[in-house]
Amino acid sequence: MSSNWIKSAVFYEIYPNSFMDSNGDGYGDFKGITAKLDYIKSLGCNAIWLNPHYDSPFMDGGYDVRDYFKVSDRFGTEEDFDEMLATAHAKGIKIILDLVPGHTSEQNADFLKSAEPVKNEMYDRFIWTDGIWRNYDGVNGLGGRHDRDGKYIINYFATQPALNYGYNRIDYPEWQMPYTSEAAKATREWLKSVMRFWLDRGADGFRVDMADSLVKNDGERNEKPATTELWRDIRAMLDKEYPDCVLVSEWSDPQAARAGFHVDFMLEFASNPYNLLVRGDKERKRRAYFDPAGGDAKAFADGFIDWYKQVNEAGGNIGLITCNHDTPRLAPVYDNEQLKLIYATVFTLPGVPFIYYGDEIGMKYIPDIPSVECGFSRTGSRTPMQWSMEKNAGFSSAEHTFLPTFADKQTNVASQQKDKRSLLNFMKEFLAFRRSRKEFISDDFEILYANGSEPLVYKRGGLVVAVNPLKTKQNAPVALPPKVKALFSVGKDAKAQKTCIAVPPLSFTVFGEK
């Protein structure tokens, strides 16, 4: 075994609060996940990314860890967690956990120790300024809640104090420590101990939260030399001690691959190629290629190829997502027929697929529901899984669920299982096809045609994919070898003609020789 399993992995992301409640308390739990592993497997997924499962006061959906060595009792017992892991493994499903290395909860014991007024062993584990009355430009520090004479730097929300991995550029030597300092190294060793703890317990790897945020004043996203050095050191430890373990980063830049991550998500930031394909960039007034009003395939293709080449050269992979717990779901902006096109396109690009729970049935982003546990606008993507038309969409038997449930007749697992043409059944068929063709996990990738909102055509090994996001029929000036035929399609099959491919409205076709 080795971390090579990542090449053929297809992930299902589970936000544990929202997936399946086994004990009727209104929150999802480990036993609920265990009960649904067959469902996940039947979809064609062989791996799970589990959002934070740790003991937490949930002031940021669990990304505020109180105890790194304990599961949240909201999700069940330690035994329930182990049972979930063992059952998944027995079914051939890997589980990667969310690792939150940049910050803890303000209730974390090490942080509270560091907040004491007298020096102690945790004094330098977090970043504190050198006096409560002093202010520093550009420093995000909070003070007056603890007796330590200083302000603590936060990494995200006010409840999330930054762990001290040191600084690269030092502006205030009075309290900023070099990333090479003993204190910074001790934090890194602590992080390794957290990783070893969960890997020894059977976890298959980690999705690393805000992976590029560790060393401060470390340059832009595409630089971060000291943070890169830190992760390379961690990767070296893993390769030696846990060679099967994979690291997936929330960094969203090819630099992550150079830092040693097996996978890095291409997220919905600004004009990332993923945005130019699926989501658009409102700020810069750029429409997505899948926008029915017409987007720019060339802008996507140029950006994607450049990104892909860099990642591939560094031995990494791109994480391709339908959505995640921070991002608005694609429905209802797109209907289920458009979603079929989008999923098929995104997941036939070179990379590792991640399906956010519920996207396989077209669960909708719910705008304007009140924020819970600091989800804010993200809350609308975190509503409970819609299993059926039963009480609470089959998610829970509780009177009150932690977020409201939204079942409609079409958007639930039970009804889509019965409908041959449903998004759910499409996803299964598509993933089975994808699995059957090793071309999709090869690094043989070339864009053959990309121009405005005309059909996008690309090659994976001996296969050629042609997609048309518009409601009108379009030709792509690409000549295919005479022997090829349509092997898989969404909508009507595209037709290979002498000098072009005729691509029907709203269609996706994979051509090959057999």
Residues lying near ligand ISL in the complex (CB under 6 A) are found at 60-61, 63, 100, 156, 209-210, 250, 325-326, 378
Residue 148 vs 382, nearer CB to ligand ISL: 382
Residue 36 vs 378, nearer CB to ligand ISL: 378
Minimum gap (Å) between residue 378 Cβ and ligand ISL: 6
Say if residues 509 and 489 touch (Cβ distance below 8 Å): yes
Angle between helices 225-241 and 182-200 (to 10 degrees): 40
Q: Which residues pair with 142 in a beta bridge?
A: 152
**DSSP secondary structure of 81-132:** HHHHHHHHHHTT-EEEEEE--SB--TT-HHHHHHTSSS--TTTTTB-B-S-T
Q: How many residues does the chain have?
A: 514
Residue 231 vs 387, nearer CB to ligand ISL: 231
Q: What CA–CA distance (Å, rounded) separates 67 from 59?
A: 14
Q: What CA–CA distance (Å, rounded) separates 490 from 279?
A: 20
Residue 158 vs 170, nearer CB to ligand ISL: 158
Minimum gap (Å) between residue 345 Cβ and ligand ISL: 23
Minimum gap (Å) between residue 89 Cβ and ligand ISL: 26
Closest CA to 256 of 297, 211, 209, 289: 211
Q: What CA–CA distance (Å, rounded) separates 167 from 141?
A: 15
Minimum gap (Å) between residue 364 Cβ and ligand ISL: 18
Residue 96 vs 341, nearer CB to ligand ISL: 96
Three-state DSSP string of 251-269:
CCCCHHHHCCCCEEECCCC
Residue 163 vs 496, nearer CB to ligand ISL: 163
Minimum gap (Å) between residue 53 Cβ and ligand ISL: 14
The residues, ordered by sequence, that sit 6+ positions from 86 with a Cβ below 8 Å of its Cβ are: 202
Give the CA distances from residue 316 to residues 40, 231, 265, 320, 367, in Å, rounded to whole numbers and listed in that order: 25, 14, 11, 13, 35
Minimum gap (Å) between residue 157 Cβ and ligand ISL: 7
Residue 249 vs 411, nearer CB to ligand ISL: 249
Minimum gap (Å) between residue 457 Cβ and ligand ISL: 32
Say if residues 507 and 467 touch (Cβ distance below 8 Å): yes
Helix (H) or strand (E) holding 47: strand 47-50
SS3 (DSSP) at 381: helix
Bond into 243 cis (ω within 30): no
Minimum gap (Å) between residue 190 Cβ and ligand ISL: 18
Residue 209 vs 291, nearer CB to ligand ISL: 209
Q: What CA–CA distance (Å, rounded) separates 111 from 116?
A: 9
Minimum gap (Å) between residue 380 Cβ and ligand ISL: 11
Minimum gap (Å) between residue 348 Cβ and ligand ISL: 26
Residue 95 vs 424, nearer CB to ligand ISL: 95
Q: Using alpha carbons only, what angle is made at residue 193 by residues 168 and 2, rounded to the nearest 5 degrees?
A: 95
Residue 216 vs 460, nearer CB to ligand ISL: 216
